[in-house]
């Protein structure tokens, strides 16, 4: 059976594009990107979805009185379409416990560092790379993990290391981490999930 995938975005959507391209090459055989949800109107990720012929919607936190009402609406949208895998690809809005429990071990997130370094509350986008450069680490990378109620604390699925080079800026590092790690890892994990090859045991994920 095909797993319907929803990709939740807040920005440019280069990770969404990596998923769409991988799907186009037949690399996610057990899955189908069925829906893209943006947390605000006007983001470029919506154009990428439309161009690929994928249903694209905006579900904005500011249109709801609180996080619970927002999450209930989002959950209803996903459930009504039979979504079986939720991919957070640079998604900025907070998801509540009810949402996370409804999709337990069915939500994956891409984070642009090697967790547990440079992660948790406030670590998003360029800020992650700024902090890695400030700390002087020689290697960074990206992580795909299942989402639980802690910030970047869910079970780690795959990680990939990327070298930091002399003269790197947050921007140059972000680009290298995306090209060498994020755009490869995320489609790989989506394919493993849709093939039923991920087993979660406590904090550990086994690839079977
Ligand atoms: C990506 O680098 C992703 O890893 C990061 O936001 C960017 C979104 O870019 N996510 C986080 O920092 C999550 N804490 P994109 O819209 O081009 O895919």
Of 143, 144, 137, the residue nearest 163 (C-alpha): 137
Average pLDDT score over the chain: 97
Q: If you average pLDDT over residues 3-18, what whole number do you get?
A: 97
CA 84 to centroid of ligand 1, rounded, Å: 22
Q: Does residue 111 have its Cβ closer than 6 Å to ligand 1?
A: yes
Q: If you average pLDDT over residues 50-62, what whole number do you get?
A: 97
CA 200 to centroid of ligand 1, rounded, Å: 24
Active site residue 111: yes
User: Which sequence spans correspond to the domains of the chain?
Assistant: 3-207
Q: If you average pLDDT over residues 91-116, what whole number do you get?
A: 97
CA pair distance 192, 29, nearest whole angstrom: 10
Q: If you average pLDDT over residues 55-63, what whole number do you get?
A: 97
Examine the pLDDT at 1 and tell me if it is beyond 90.
no
Q: Does residue 176 have its Cβ closer than 6 Å to ligand 1?
A: no
Q: Does residue 128 have its Cβ closer than 6 Å to ligand 1?
A: yes
**Model pLDDT for residues 135-191, shown as the tens digit of each residue:** 999 999 999 999 999 999 999 999 999 999 999 999 999 999 999 999 999 999 999
CA 12 to centroid of ligand 1, rounded, Å: 9
Helices (H), 32-135: 44-51, 67-80, 97-102, 126-135
Question: Is the pTM above the cut of 0.95?
Answer: yes
The domain 3-207 belongs to what CATH superfamily?
Formyl transferase, N-terminal domain (3.40.50.170)
Q: Which atom of ligand 1 is nearest to the CA of 11?
A: 16
């Amino acid at each position: 059976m095909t797993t319907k995938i929803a990709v939740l975005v807040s920005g440019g959507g280069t990770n969404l594009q990596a998923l769409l391209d991988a799907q186009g090459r037949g690399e996610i055989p057990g899955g189908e990107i069925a829906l893209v949800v943006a947390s605000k109107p006007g983001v470029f990720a919506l154009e990428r979805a439309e161009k690929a012929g994928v249903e694209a919607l905006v579900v904005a936190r500011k249109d709801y009185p609180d996080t619970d009402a927002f999450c209930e609406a989002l959950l209803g949208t996903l459930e009504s379409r039979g979504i079986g895998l939720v991919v957070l690809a640079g998604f900025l809005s907070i998801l509540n416990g009810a949402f996370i429990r409804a999709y337990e071990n069915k939500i994956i997130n891409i984070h642009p560092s090697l967790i547990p370094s440079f992660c948790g509350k406030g670590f998003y986008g360029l800020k992650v790379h700024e902090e890695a450069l400030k700390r002087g680490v020689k290697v960074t990378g990206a992580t795909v993990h299942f989402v639980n109620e802690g910030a970047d604390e869910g079970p780690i699925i795959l990680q990939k290391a990327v070298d930091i080079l002399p003269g790197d800026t947050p921007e140059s590092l972000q680009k290298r981490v995306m090209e060498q790690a994020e755009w490869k890892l995320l489609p790989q994990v989506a394919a493993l999930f849709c093939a039923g090859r991920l087993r979660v045991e406590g904090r550990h994920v086994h690839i079977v």
